[in-house]
Structure 1
Amino acid sequence: MFVNSWTTTINSSKRSLLQSYLLQGSTTGGRDAGNRSAVTGGAQLDGFIHLLGLILKDTGLPDHTIFKKKTVLPGYFRPTKNWDLVAVVNGERLASIEFKSHVGPSFGNNFNNRVEEALGSATDIWTAYREGAFKPSQKPWLGWLKLLEDAPKTKLKQNVGKST
């Protein structure tokens, strides 16, 4: 049911990334280094946020239970964290989802940073949950959607060193 929607959303995201890259600095004169300007515009993943909201709605969640963008939740190791999409029903958080995109040319280190960010965010929110920052409820679902550029470097086999 949502296959065409995913394809449309991916294509829209590509256009948004290109537009962000081309327009960044047009009013201030400042640009991010490399291709970073393509992903710092903030709107390139709005289609995915909208689509995941539709999928949640399709499962039976009412619109008023699905919150998008700038949804602040308490943390444990940091005071708060903005999540891109949060579902809350009867005061209980059902799901929190973060969306990230990653374009080249520096895939290796940036990818490692995003993995560490995902693990850190999950550890932070699970610790906050365990320590009572949220009212007692069923354990919520966490999601992390990462859109990775389809490029030759993203398809290279990684050499993993053997421990001795």
Structure 2
Amino acid sequence: MALDLANYKEQARDAIKAFWGNREAAARKQAETGNIDAGTRGAVTAGNNLNGFLALMQSLVRANGLHDAEIHVDKGLVVLPGYFRPNKQWDVVVMRGHRLVAALEFKSQVGSYGNNYNNRTEEAIGTAHCLWTAFREGALGDEPRPFLGWLMVVGDEKGSRSPVRTSEPHFKVFPEWRDASYIQRYDQLCQRLVKEGLYGAAALLATPLNSAETGAYAEFSALSGLEYFVTTFAAHIAAEASRPPPTPRSLL
């Protein structure tokens, strides 16, 4: 099966440029209006910082033959059922008729690493586990297993690169966690999300704070790299495109 990866490296650099450009524009707007959020919050309240990666995923869907897919990004159309809670909003939901083809989450963190790393980790694990349990219980119908993807963009700076002390009052942590930086922790998280089958792919991109012009980013392992993410996603899309479309509900 020949996959089209939609010139993903160039699109990823453009997405990183947009990420920093949107953050800077949001921060300027906050300053101009006099409505300043604490810390760096003002740079992220616009909510569109990762739209470049959404465009990349749209390109991969179209390039790999799934022309009848509906790619949803609006809040009202990215809601999927859960098991431990009624539902959850994803960032991107790809549908083909009533069949869920893929659900994607895009996250970012710049600064406040100690405050937010655990929240991001627990959210990533819980979101996938809740959906897979709902899938097992028939909430998505009798359809093939969808693709779940999780992509994380992290600021590449001293705060994310420095070793972090682990607390071990009763039991020892696994050695790979000891003195690991937040970037290393995110890399381990992405690898384990895939190894445990919670996501089809999970990518980590670390980008320096001065990358608005270059779109520079770093990757840290084959399993958490962007190539694995786009290749796995494209393969799932191509496989879906080779199947007959789902039977309309009215004919079931």
**TM-score normalized by structure 1?**
0.87
1:161 to partner: Cα distance = 4.8
After superposition, the C-alpha distances for 1:41-100 in whole angstroms (9 at most, x for unaligned) are 111111111111112222222264322242111112222211111112242112100111
- Match of 2:93? 86
- Match of 1:43? 48
Matched, 1:74 2:81: yes
Query: In the comparison of the two structures, how many residue pairs are matched?
Result: 162
- Match of 1:98? 105
- CA change 1:23–1:93 in 2 (3 A) is same
- CA change 1:36–1:134 in 2 (3 A) is same
In structure 1, which of residues 54, 60, 83 is the aligned counterpart of residue 59 of structure 2? Answer: 54
CA RMSD between the two structures:
2.0
Output the CA distance in 2 between the equivalents of 1:118 and 1:32: 26
Higher strand share: 1
Output the CA distance in 2 between the equivalents of 1:92 and 1:98: 18
- Match of 1:115? 121
- CA change 1:59–1:110 in 2 (3 A) is same
**TM-score normalized by structure 2?**
0.59
Is the contact made by 2:11 and 2:52 (CA closer than 8 Å) also made in structure 1?
Answer: no
Identical amino acids, percent of aligned pairs = 40
After superposition, the C-alpha distances for 1:22-47 in whole angstroms (9 at most, x for unaligned) are 213755x5443211221221111111
Q: Which amino acid aligns with 2:123?
A: E
Unaligned ranges ≥5, structure 2:
1-6, 173-252
Structure of higher RCO (CA pairs closer than 8 Å, 6+ residues apart): 2
